[in-house]
Amino acid sequence: MSTKREVDTAFARLGLQKGRATRAEVIAARRRLARKFHPDRRGGNPELMAEVNRSGDIALAYVEGHIFVDSTANSTRATTPSQQPVQRDHPSFTIDVLPVEACEALRVVASWVGEIIDEDPPYLLEVDMHDPYSVWCRLELVPDAGATTVTVSATGESLRGVNIEAIRDVWIDQLNQLDWQTLDPDQQRPW
């Protein structure tokens, strides 16, 4: 549990207003700052990137754990966070290709285990996973020294009693079954 000061600092660092920011706004702010400070980018800074990640985690935990007022609606409507459990694994796994190729491979795997609900290629996939678990998965892809780090978060009623690592392992297993040669003839299998 973060202190009030840590929460205030996290929202300030992300450039957001505590109590008004939505989950999507926290994620967007984190992504914007990651593009600026990621150590693999020119002018990046590993210490600042670590602070951005910590601030993002603190802000997400705050937003998901509190009631907030929807300021976009005509009336004031309080919404509560989902009662479904959410599990997150930081970072989940690394693929030895750049995000464009990694995203394409994950899109193929997503068609095997469920269906893509939303995407922001090559950095985000949201998948309604059906096999072997019925959960909603969010895959965030971040460039990492010529490779891609994929962070997995999942939510859903059937997540109860399922370890997030098991869901991550499904993605890894399916990626290992993928024939990279048919995905792109110029792309060598990364492992």
User: Which pLDDT belongs to residue 142?
Assistant: 92
Residue numbers of the domain that contains 42: 4-79
CATH number of 35's domain: 1.10.287
Write the DSSP string, 61-89.
HHHHHS-EE-TTSSS--EE---SS-EEEE
Helix (H) or strand (E) holding 79: strand 78-79
pLDDT per residue as tens digits for the range 104-156? 999 999 999 999 999 998 999 999 998 888 888 999 999 988 899 999 888 87
* Runs of H (alpha helix) within the chain: 4-14, 23-37, 46-65, 99-113, 164-177, 180-183
Residue at which a domain ends, from 53, 79, 105? 79
Regarding pTM above 0.85, the answer is no
Helix (H, G, I), strand (E, B) or coil at 10: helix
100 and 158 share one domain: yes
The pLDDT tens digits for 45-66 are 888 888 888 888 888 888 877 6
Burial of 23 (0-12, 13-18, 19+ CB in 10 A): middle
Quick one: 67 and 132 in the same domain?
A: no
Are residues 174 and 108 both part of a single domain? yes
Q: How does residue 181 score in pLDDT terms, banded at 50, 70 and 90?
A: low
Whole-number average pLDDT of the chain: 79
Identify the band that residue 42 occupies on the pLDDT scale cut at 50, 70 and 90. confident
Domain count, the chain: 2
Which one has a higher pLDDT value, 25 or 160? 25
In a domain, 188, yes or no: no
Q: What is d(CA 22, CA 153) in angstroms, rounded to the nearest whole number?
A: 17
Residue 26 shares a structural domain with residue 93: no
| 58: phi then psi, degrees, rounded to nearest 5 | -65, -45
Q: Is residue 34 pLDDT above 60, yes or no?
A: yes
**136 and 102 in one domain?**
yes
- pLDDT for 86: 58
* 191 domain residue, yes or no: no
**In this structure, what DSSP letter does residue 188 have?**
P
Q: What is the pLDDT of residue 106?
A: 94
Residue 36 domain-assigned?
Answer: yes
Q: What is the pLDDT of residue 117?
A: 92
pLDDT score, position 92: 75
Domain boundary among 27, 46, 79: 79
Residues 57 and 99 in one domain: no
Percent with pLDDT over 90 in the chain: 24
pLDDT the model gives residue 77: 39
Residue 92 lies in a domain: yes
